[in-house]
Amino acid sequence: MLFIYDSKEKLFSSREETDFRSHEILERKDIEKWVIESPELLGEDLLIITTEYDKFDKTKERLDLLALDRNGKLVVVELKRDDSGRRVELQALKYAAYCSTMTLTDIVKLRVQFVGRLINGRTEEDVENEVLGFINNDEFEKLDDKPRIILVAKEFRPEVTASVLWLRTFGVDIACVKLTPYKIDDLKLVSGAKWGGAGDLGLACVPGLH
């Protein structure tokens, strides 16, 4: 349950937890868009490199989001709507393996294509400077071969959390983040609508297994 404090009335009011499906909120059209617009939803500052990437060699599998953290580490982000499913960690591990050979030149080109859909006129030099300026790590020289993994869902199945905890004992940087929606009033969101625009939902981000 979520409690909201009204500083004017000096009162607390409670809000019930809900789910994304009930409000017709979709994984790609909505949740992915929120993370692109506000990566801090995942609990840290990230630079989005690309989305819905499906150009891996000899496979058409598609990762949800590829990002860069402040230390200069690639971050594979796998999004699920309400339930994580049973194999999301295996899916993300494959994507991390596919991305492990990427170079700075590779991600600059991907970022150019990504921002080109949003902002025209960005050159590779502009984006490379942006990427290097984003990295806050004096020891950074090049991307390493060990991307981080962030799994995002409203609920995680025990099979997933057990696997994540076990993988972490072997030094795999994998974490789960729960996004929990709360209903604030009786209005209903339609597919593709921005969350919070009409005060319909509150969203709580709960980082876990870090």
* pLDDT 10s digits, 166-176: 999 999 999 99
Give the closest residue to 134 by CA, choosing from 67, 77, 76: 67
**Domains in the chain: boundaries:** 20-208
Q: How does residue 117 score in pLDDT terms, banded at 50, 70 and 90?
A: low
Alpha carbon dihedral 100, 105, 110, 112, in 10-degree steps, equals 160
Is 184 within 8 Å of 202 (Cβ atoms)?
yes
* Both structure tokens of 52: 């819905």
Residue 5 and residue 13: Cα distance in Å, rounded? Answer: 7
∠ CA 49-50-54, rounded to 5°: 140
Q: What is the pTM of this model?
A: 0.84
Q: Can you tell me whether residue 78 is helix, strand or coil?
A: strand
In this predicted model, what pLDDT tens digit does every residue of 97-108 receive, in sequence order?
Answer: 999 999 999 999
The dihedral over CA atoms of 85, 88, 89, 92, expressed in degrees to the nearest 10, equals -170
What's the CATH class of domain 20-208? alpha beta
Q: Tell me the pLDDT tens digit for each residue of 5-47.
A: 778 888 887 777 888 888 888 898 889 999 999 999 888 999 9
Dig out the tokens for 76 from the structure.
């594979």
pLDDT (tens digit, 9 = 90+) per residue, 43-82? 899 999 999 998 888 888 899 999 999 999 999 999 999 9
Mean pLDDT for the stretch of residues 185-208: 40
Q: Give the rounded distance of the alpha carbon of 62 from its chain centre.
A: 14
Helix (H, G, I), strand (E, B) or coil at 171: coil
At 198, the pLDDT band (50, 70, 90 cuts) reads: very low
Going by C-alpha positions, the residue among 109, 86, 100, 84 that lies closest to residue 179 is 84
What percent of the chain has pLDDT above 70? 85
Separation CA 152–CA 114 (nearest Å) = 21
* C-alpha 205 chain-centroid distance: 11
Helix or strand or coil: residue 196?
A: coil
Handedness of CA 47, 50, 53, 57 (dihedral sign): negative
**What single-letter amino acid sits at 21?**
R
**pLDDT score for 130:** 94
In this prediction, residue 133 carries a pLDDT of 96
The pLDDT-based confidence of 210 (bands split at 50, 70, 90) is very low
